[in-house]
């Protein structure tokens, strides 16, 4: 277990699923965790945390709301800054290309890609002044290989990989590392609604013959946050799906 004592970690979209698993992992490693969600986070979500987390509530797709919330965060007394940012928040609106509404394409790209930028830019500016920091962006195996019915999601997640590589080059001289994680099929609310037949077909293409667990993504986030000589990389956690 890596030690993140006295470090502050902000995870977007951390009220459930992968985001919450990442938040719990950093909390267990000693970090002060800042949870984020678009809607209210109920206290029972973080009842078992070692340290009471701070809560931020705003829509990442709203650039002004993101900037205002983060500006207020940095103005708090005794706030030293964000050491690790994990951009996890995102949405899906799946549909085959021929039937996809333009608004559905635009909304997914706006939330997943533009939203990542909206949160990252204000914090990146502060990290430049701090001369240290780690940013981890959640992409997807779909951003690497594409997927039928997800041209909007795939485009947004491929864009995150490009954002990650470019930002890594900009931040390196100031001690800021930027990496991405590309999860494959992870046990979640989304996969739980799939029929047994659909799950079986997906598993045929996964060499490890199982879906991943959210805590396995969390372990990768801790690894990248604590690995001082890794930047600009995309780590696939997909059971071998993208080989």
Average pLDDT over residues 177-200: 89
What is the per-residue pLDDT for 1?
67
Number of domains within the chain: 1
Block residue for tokens 């992870």: 186
Look at residue 241 and tell me if it is in a domain.
Answer: no
pLDDT at 193: 77
What is the structure's pLDDT at 14?
Answer: 97
User: Does the pLDDT of residue 176 top 70, yes or no?
Assistant: yes
Residue 55 falls inside a structural domain? yes
Mean pLDDT, range 165-173, rounded to an integer: 98
Q: What are phi and psi of 192, to 5 degrees?
A: -70, -20
**pLDDT tens digit sequence for 110-129:** 999 999 999 999 999 999 99
Instruction: pLDDT band for 188, please (50, 70, 90 cuts).
Output: confident
Instruction: Confirm whether 24 is domain-assigned.
Output: yes
H or E element, residue 92? none
Per-residue pLDDT band for 163 (boundaries 50, 70, 90) equals very high
Check which CATH number belongs to the domain holding 227 and give it: 3.40.50.720
Establish if 136 belongs to a structural domain.
yes
Taking 80 as the threshold, does the pLDDT of residue 96 lie above it?
A: yes
In tens, the pLDDT along 11-49 reads 999 999 999 999 999 999 999 999 999 999 999 999 999
Q: What is the pLDDT of residue 94?
A: 94
Whether 2 is in a domain gets the answer no
Q: What stretches of the chain adopt beta strand conformation (E)?
A: 8-11, 32-37, 54-57, 84-87, 133-138, 176-183, 234-237
Residue 146 belongs to some domain of the structure: yes
Residue 66 lies in a domain: yes
pTM exceeding the 0.85 threshold for the entire prediction: yes
Find the mean pLDDT for residues 203-230: 97
Nearest to 104 by CA among 156, 140, 38: 156
Output phi, psi for 94, to 5 deg.
-80, 145
Which residue segment(s) compose the domain that 153 sits in? Answer: 8-234
Query: Is residue 45 in some structural domain?
Result: yes
**Residues acting as catalytic residues:** 153
Quote the mean pLDDT of the chain. Answer: 96
């Amino acid at each position: 277990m890596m030690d993140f004592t006295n470090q502050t970690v902000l995870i977007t979209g951390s009220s459930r699923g992968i985001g919450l698993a990442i938040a719990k992992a950093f909390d267990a490693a000693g970090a002060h965790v800042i949870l984020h969600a678009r809607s209210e986070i109920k206290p029972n979500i973080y009842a078992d945390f070692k340290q009471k987390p701070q809560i931020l509530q705003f829509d990442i797709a709203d650039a002004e709301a993101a900037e205002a919330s983060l500006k207020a965060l940095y103005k708090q007394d005794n706030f030293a800054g964000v050491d690790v940012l994990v951009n996890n928040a995102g949405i899906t609106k799946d549909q085959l290309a021929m039937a996809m509404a333009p608004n559905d394409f635009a909304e997914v790209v706006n939330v997943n890609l533009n939203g990542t930028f909206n949160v990252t830019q204000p914090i990146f500016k502060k990290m430049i002044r701090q001369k240290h920091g780690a940013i981890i962006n959640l992409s997807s195996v779909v951003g690497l290989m594409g997927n039928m019915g997800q041209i909007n999601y795939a485009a947004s997640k491929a864009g995150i990989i490009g954002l990650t590589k470019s930002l890594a080059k900009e931040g390196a001289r100031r001690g800021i590392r930027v990496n991405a994680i590309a999860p494959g099929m992870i046990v979640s609310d989304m996969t739980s609604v799939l029929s047994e037949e659909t799950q079986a077909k997906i598993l045929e293409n996964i060499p490890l013959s199982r879906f991943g667990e959210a805590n396995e993504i969390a372990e990768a986030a801790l690894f990248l946050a604590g690995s001082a000589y890794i930047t600009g990389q995309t780590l696939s956690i997909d059971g071998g799906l993208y080989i």
